[in-house]
Amino acid sequence: MPSRTPRATTALVLAVALTLAGCAPSDGSSATQATTDGFFDTSRVHEIDLVLTDDALDEALDGYLTDGEKVWVHGDVTIDGTTFEDVGLRLKGNSTLREVTADTPAQDLPWLVRLDKWVEGQELDGVTRLAVRSSTTQTSINELVAMTLLAEADLETSRVAATRVSANGGDASLHAVVEVMDEQWAEATFDGETILYKSDADGDWSNRGTDPTAYTEAFDVEAGEEDWQPVADLMVFLDEATDAELEAELDEHVDVEQLARYLALEDLMDNFDDIDGPGNNSYLAYDVATGVFTVVAWDHNLTFGVQNGGPGGGGGGAPEGMQPPTDGERPEGFPTDMPTDLPEGFPTDMPTDLPDGAGRPGDRGAGGDAAGGGPGGGFGGASNPLAERFHSIASFEALYDQATEDLRADLFTSGTLEDVVDAWTTTLGEGAADLVDADALTEEAAQVAAYADVTNG
């Protein structure tokens, strides 16, 4: 699928402010179509203040705590000094919401902000939806770096901003705020008519037959025509094609070279929760003209050794003493028991001990065999038919191996990773020193930067 120039900033301009047309009103006035000096300018920490009543907050929390429903509530949002009135706010996430209580402060919650929910045409630099992300780290630097590397690798991704999030002018928490992939994002990212699907966290990629209505609970349409037939055709093909048919015809369904780069980079970044993780985290962009899908990366808060936990900052990231893998071996201190905070729907009958040498698909040897005895998500991962069958074909595995080698050289051993980490460390140190302990920033940045020395693959 032809893509336009990636919208995220690159490592080469991380320390420089973007120059965009126009400036935001400096008097805090409201605007329906605001042009700012760059909300996704990565050289500074941005500010979002959520203005919502106690009743609205209670409604959002009660809806989720009572029956798991994520309800939209009314509020105002001030973004870098510009106020948007009557926006839609709702909780977002799945496992990240499991620790939420009725007393969780609004600024610590993961939110989906929709500027045009009730005011048509209300937008910020062409963006109408923002996701206020949750993290178990204090800084979210692993996610900030991961999304920067995706753009550096010319993989389709959304933009990200380090942001101070407060509620009603009160205390702030530090979050990564991400541009949501929707109609506007799809139009800006891909050429031609595109249908954008999002894998549902509670769904799966199983063959449900050729009836497109059978897939409405497994995939959401985020952009384009509400047509599930392309997804139905892909799932049937992945399940029923022989290995010979898969090797000969997969490129008629999926951009295989892009898929190889996606899988390779997710593994190099040690993403626990990618397409074959427990949350099915990915989008599928379908080019109506060519009939080919592009896999789009989503959700990177569990990259670079970070494990899941509750919402808000203050977590410790990976277990104490955990280091990135080297030479395909599990790092000292890597857990041998499954975590207790498993995402909803995660299997409960997993083995308690990992086989010797078990690891992520990124731990594959030159012959293409996974260290753990086969393809699929590594520690705690789930099976995804597309990733599993892709890795099962030698010619596709060769694409993956080459992509791994190329991306490791371009982004990890070249010094790019350290440059990106340094730039984000500077941004966070200068703009969020009151929110983040300096030692925590140093420690969390070092954990990410250490992946530059990973040699497994």
| pLDDT of res. 201 | 83
- How far apart CA 67 and CA 97 sit, in angstroms, is 13
Per the listing, tokens 């965009």 go with: 20
Alpha carbon distance 137, 96 (integer Å): 12
SS (H, E, C) the chain: CCECCCCCCCHHHCCCCCCCCCCCCCCCCECCEECCCCCCCCCCCEEEEEECCHHHHHHHHHHHHHHCCCCCEEEEEEECCEEEEEEEEEECCCHHHCCCCCCCCHHHCCEEEECCCCCCCCEECCECEEEECCCCCCCCHHHHHHHHHHHHCCCCCCCEEEEEEEECCCCEEEEEEEECCCHHHHHHHECCCEEEEEECCCCCCCCCCCCHHHHCCCEEEEECCCCCHHHHHHHHHHHHCCHHHHHHHHHHCECHHHHHHHHHHHHHCCCCCCCCCCCCCCEEEEECCCCEEEEECCCCCCCCCCCCCCCCCCCCCCCCCCCCCECCECCCCCCCCCCCCCCCCCCCCCCCCCCCCCCCHHHCCCCCCCCCCCCCCCCCCCCCHHHHHHHHCHHHHHHHHHHHHHHHHHHHCCCHHHHHHHHHHHHHHHHCCCCCCHHHHHHHHHHHHHHHHCCCC
The pLDDT score that the predictor gives to residue 455 is 55
In this structure, what token pair is assigned to residue 58?
Answer: 């209670």
CA angle, 330 as apex, 326 and 336 as ends, to 5°? 165
What percent of the chain stands above pLDDT 90? 68
C-alpha to C-alpha distance for 169 and 167, rounded to whole angstroms: 5
Q: What pLDDT is recorded for position 343?
A: 44
Strands 123-124 and 33-34: parallel
**Which residue type sits at 182?**
D
Could you tell me the pTM of the whole model? 0.81
pLDDT along the chain (457 residues), means of 10: 51 35 42 68 97 97 93 98 97 86 96 97 94 94 98 96 97 97 95 96 91 96 98 98 98 98 97 87 96 96 81 36 40 40 45 37 35 34 86 98 98 98 98 97 98 70
Task: Report the pLDDT value the prediction gives residue 323, as an integer from 0 to 100.
Answer: 41
Separation of alpha carbons 135 and 26, rounded Å: 31
Task: Evaluate whether 122 touches 68 at the Cβ level (below 8 Å).
Answer: no
Hey, what amino acid is at 95?
Answer: S
* Token pair belonging to 221: 């349409």
Structure tokens given for 156: 């389709």
| Tokens (6 digits) for 233 | 């055709």
The structure tokens listed for 453 are 């020395």
Centroid of chain to Cα 89: 20
Domain boundaries, the chain: 11-186, 191-412
Which tokens go with 186? 């799809």
Backbone φ and ψ for 388, nearest 5 degrees, come out as -65, -45
**Residue with structure tokens 């798991």?**
68
Q: What is the dihedral of CA 374, 377, 381, 382, to 10 degrees?
A: -80
Which of 409, 335, 417 minimizes the C-alpha distance to 142?
417
Residue type, 289: A
What is the C-alpha to C-alpha distance for residues 399 and 271, in angstroms, rounded to an integer? 20
Closest residue by Cα to residue 293 from 250, 336, 338, 330: 250
Q: Give the sign of the dihedral formed by CA 240, CA 246, CA 251, CA 255.
A: positive
- Residue 415: other Cβ atoms inside 10 A: 12
Query: How many other β-carbons are positioned within 10 Å of the β-carbon of residue 31?
Result: 17
